[in-house]
A and B are shown apart, each in its own frame.
Chain A
Amino acid sequence: MSLLLGFAGISFLAVLQSSLVNHLRLLDGRPDLILLAITGWALAGHGRQAMLFGFVGGFALDLFSEVPLGVSSAALVLVAVLVSYSEGRFWGVHPLMQLAAVIAASGVFYAAQLASLGIGGHSFDLPLVVNRIVLPSLFLNLVLALPAAQAAEALSRFFTPAEVAA
């Protein structure tokens, strides 16, 4: 996929996250579109692009957020590294492993945000944060994980069709 097209798409997802998806709540949790997109794209075998998109998507998210600039970028790059690790031999073993990838990715993403906010002086009641925000968000991410992975797979096939043997 053209990188510029991907950057535009991921920035649009950040706008959607901020103005639309944040209204879809379960308790105080909400699905993370960019996280799902990065995870799906990395699972589709585009690890390097997923890192670049994660960097740009995280940057766009942080522009709309009180989270310090650069934190979501670094977290989403780490997510892309984690998910693309072993080139699909680990997370691609079984379709359900995609859910495990989303759980791991969400863990990295939330831990990075919480740590940066904590260092920045925010105080959290951790059990409450886990019960009201992290677990509901994780649940929503899991609900959307497989459709997101399928959408990423379809996009991947569209942009990089398999070569036909001569």
Chain B
Amino acid sequence: MTQLSSKTLLASALIVLSAALFVLNLGGYLGPAREAIVRPLAGGQQWVSQRYFAAREFLTAPREATALQARIEELEAQNAALQDQIITLQEEASEAVILRALLNFARTSPETSYVATSVIGLDPSPFVRSITIGAGSDRGLSYGMPVVSESGLVGRIIEVNATSSRVQLITDPQAAVSVRLQNSRADGLVVAQANGELQVEQISHEVEVSQGELVLTSGLGGVFPSDIPVGHIVSVRTRDFELFQQAVLEPAVEFEGLEIVLVITNFRPVDQVPAP
């Protein structure tokens, strides 16, 4: 009986403590403490995700590369130190490919300032679509900054720590992006479904939307800069009794394979108040 009571007491105390954390966090009182805890954990996240991407790169390399890798591994038996060097160089080479693509993207709009950073984690909750990136306020990042890849729009920063930040992806059901269809010049709003599928809503009936049409950010609302690719139209749904047309969008960015992203640092979002 006493044992049961002490267990109930412990459980109650921990739940009250959780509630206190919840309330203090909502009030914004946990900022510095949170910062102190997140910093070492983000370091661990970065270390693990670098190894994961290196292993994935190794396993999914083309066949010739795999054969070469096997040959290298024979040599590795004689020289273990060479192994580390090869893996490091391979990882750097794959990073260089991504960075070259990002650089080409950055050159298309030289007036924009970027900070390149790696993706170090995904949101542990399956109900939320956000990623953690390995740069924060130490590198000049702040709340609301848009995040892109060489292919197009990724999302925007919703939380900033000293060495890491959280980015809400455009595939999160809470995200909304004002867009313009490139050919038909129609405005719309991209919203995500729970399964991550993107839809363009609020397209006027007066415009004809074609399959494959490129969808760009419109800049309306001041949350994202204009003319960043968001995706292509896959299909259009038009119903006479509905006020607007809807379209299914294939995102320009391959969110599953994101390794490195660019944060646009010289864009000031309008009316962006950080959540407490």
Contact = CB atoms under 8 A, between A and B. Distances in A.
A137 interface: yes
A61 B25 contact: no
B18 A58 contact: yes
B195 A124 contact: no
B70 to A, nearest CB: 25
A22 interface: yes
A18 B128 contact: no
Contacts of B127: 67, 110, 113-114, 117, 122, 124, 129, 133
Across the A-B interface, the 6 shortest Cβ-Cβ residue pairs: A70-B22, A74-B18, A70-B21, A22-B122, A18-B121, A69-B25
A64 B45 contact: yes
A136 B19 CA distance: 29
A64 B132 contact: yes
A51 B11 contact: yes
Contacts of B174: 121-123
Contacts of A84: 7
Contacts of B38: 63
Contacts of B44: 12, 15, 19
Contacts of B195: 27-28, 128, 132
Contact of A23 (B30, B46, B122, B159): B122
A51 B48 CA distance: 27
Interface string B1-32: 00000110011001101111111011000100
Contacts of B49: 19-20
A13 to B, nearest CB: 10
A73 B22 CA distance: 10
A82 B41 CA distance: 29
A69 B30 contact: yes
Interface string A1-37: 0000000000110111111101100011110000000
Chain B: interface residue count, which band? Answer: 35 or more
Nearest to A84: B7
B50 to A, nearest CB: 9
B126 A29 contact: yes
Contacts of A18: 45, 121-124, 132
B10 A63 contact: no
Contacts of B194: 124-125, 128-129, 132-133
Nearest to A34: B124
Interface in A48-85: 48, 51-52, 54-55, 58-61, 63-74, 77-78, 80-81, 84
12 contacts: A20-B52, A22-B122, A58-B18, A64-B45, A65-B125, A70-B21, A73-B18, A77-B14, A113-B125, A122-B127, A124-B194, A133-B127
B59 interface: no
A47 interface: yes
B144 to A, nearest CB: 15
Interface in B121-170: 121-128, 130, 132, 158-159, 166, 168
